Structure 1
Amino acid sequence: MSTRSLGLSDRLQEYLLAVGVRETDVQRRLRAVTDNHPLSVMRSSAEQVAFLQLLLKAINARRVVEVGVFTGYATLGFALALPEDGIVHALDISAEFPAIGRPFWEEADVARKIDLRIAPAAESLAALRREGLEGLVDFVFIDADKTGYLTYYEEALALLHPGGIVAVDNVLWSGRVIDPGADDQDTVAIRAFNERVKDDSRVDLVMLPVGDGLTLARKR
């Protein structure tokens, strides 16, 4: 839950965006619109989306699952990074927020690559498995309700093929994961997720201080 990477000053963030991130004009405008939203803190950082776009291209991804869409800023980035036959299965519980991004998806000519599904994420993930996508997905991005992270992670591993990657956002949770006084439901859930995956022998793993903390797990 951070629009910038942890620890960056305003000046460093401005410099990073100026020389280290390549956004299209449509991406910049959707980011600006999102930043004027009362819940703008839910937006993925520009550098995180750019990093994941590069990752998608590096692994030649064609099928992506996004758990948690908000205004679709990351969705737009993913769709832009995919080839013409690529698809982003974008899962969200709210139709209101993705509606903000849809005109930008259409303007960027990637709306045809986005399969937006409005339902509880666990239901949509189970539906993808029923539709025969188990073992066929290249990349999964999880950035939704924190209490559901472990469930979404298990569903992601079922959908991914060996070598596929799941990326999980907010794993440092603005530093609250190391605050002994932070015992709210979300913080407890993120700590539990981090402890669970660190020793998961089914994946290769790294946690990066990008955005609000990003865990990448490659299915073995």
Structure 2
Amino acid sequence: MTTATPTAARPVTPLGILTAHLQTALKQLQHAEDATESVQKALELAIGLEEYVNACTTPESKDLSAIARKTQGEPWDQRFSDGETVRHLEQEMLSGHVEGQFLKMLVHMAHARRILDIGMFTGYSALAMAEALPIDGVLVACEVDEYVASFAQELFDQSLHGAKIQIKLAPAIDTLKELVSQGEVFDFVFIDADKREYVQYFQLLLDSGLLAPNGFICVDNTLLQGQPYLTERSANGAAIAEFNQVVAEDARVEQVLVPLRDGVTLIRRV
């Protein structure tokens, strides 16, 4: 049995992309000393930030580390279909160490007992949040890809807190509607799924009662490689820009966009 060789992760956050551009610029400016010095200083600031933040953040648990290692070693470029639509899976979809600890801290601070995870992938963020739940806490995870759900479930079964997680295998919108019909309510919701459906998730959470009166919503990728504030946007970038505007204009909530990794927005009903 051969083991897949982990490939280097491509830059997918504003900071990572900025660092890559600065590295390229520095090579191009080797003969322009004044410009090179300024770019070198900018690069040192950018390239050292993520490593320092990681070093100053509580280490991930061995169970989370196991998910990260297995995800990084998986040949995701060979897996594209979720049964109905083409879905490009890649290791960069993993939330990662700092964001995982950030979510875990938020769950502790919110004293959450019931969590809804919209978009699970290999389960890193789900397990990070489950680690902060009380022993009788519950996390319902929405995932559309059968292979990914099985991948995550195997890792949950081997972990200390995986029993708190219930995977719902279906399109997230369908699962949310089912949960509404069952009268389910959640203290904390994490959204990290199809960017084009973010507005639907948000509105359904507020309109249906799925979100507890004092509950919180946490939304990932709200900076999406800087695209929401740049002129050149992909379809996902345009969807995130629309989502950010919808949230900002909704008088029912207050929010803060935190420039953590690829952008995380915290939302509270007022």
Q: Which residue of 2 aligns with 1:7?
A: 15
Q: Work out the CA distance in 2 between the residues paired with 1:64 and 1:15.
A: 30
Q: Which runs of 4+ in 1 moved over 3 A?
A: 2-6, 8-12
Confirm whether residue 144 of structure 1 aligns to residue 193 of structure 2: yes
* Closer/same/farther in 2, CA of residues 4 and 14 from structure 1, 3 Å limit: farther
* Higher RCO (C-alpha 8 Å, min separation 6): 1
Q: Give 1:5 shift.
A: 6.0
TM-score (norm 1): 0.91
Q: Give 1:3 shift.
A: 8.4
Q: Secondary structure at the match of 1:147?
A: helix
Please say if residues 6 and 210 of structure 1, whose CA atoms lie closer than 8 Å, have aligned partners that are also in contact. no
Q: Give 1:122 shift.
A: 0.5
Q: Work out the CA distance in 2 between the residues paired with 1:24 and 1:181.
A: 38
Confirm whether residue 173 of structure 1 aligns to residue 224 of structure 2: yes
Q: 1:43 aligns with which of 77, 94, 98?
A: 94
Q: Which residue of 2 aligns with 1:127?
A: 178
Q: Which residue of 1 aligns with 2:83?
A: none
Counterpart of 2:246, as a letter, is R
Q: Secondary structure at the match of 1:71?
A: coil
- The answer for unaligned runs of 5 or more in structure 2 is 1-9, 17-45, 77-89
Considering only CA atoms, is the larger Rg found in Structure 1 or Structure 2? 2
Q: Work out the CA distance in 2 between the residues paired with 1:88 and 1:216.
A: 18
Q: Secondary structure at the match of 2:120?
A: coil
The alignment yields a C-alpha RMSD, in angstroms, of: 1.9
Q: 2:122 aligns with which of 64, 68, 71?
A: 71
Q: Which residue of 2 aligns with 1:61?
A: 112
Q: Secondary structure at the match of 2:130?
A: helix
Q: Secondary structure at the match of 2:256?
A: strand
Q: Work out the CA distance in 2 between the residues paired with 1:99 and 1:16.
A: 32
Superposed CA offset, 1:137-196 (max 9, x none): 1011110011100011112223111221011111111011122122x3211111110111
Confirm whether residue 25 of structure 1 aligns to residue 62 of structure 2: yes
Matches within 5 A, 1:86-165: 86-133=137-184, 136-157=185-206, 158=208, 159-165=210-216
Q: How many residues align?
A: 216
Q: Work out the CA distance in 2 between the residues paired with 1:203 and 1:101.
A: 33
Q: Which residue of 1 aligns with 2:240?
A: 190
- The answer for unaligned runs of 5 or more in structure 1 is none
TM-score (norm 2): 0.75
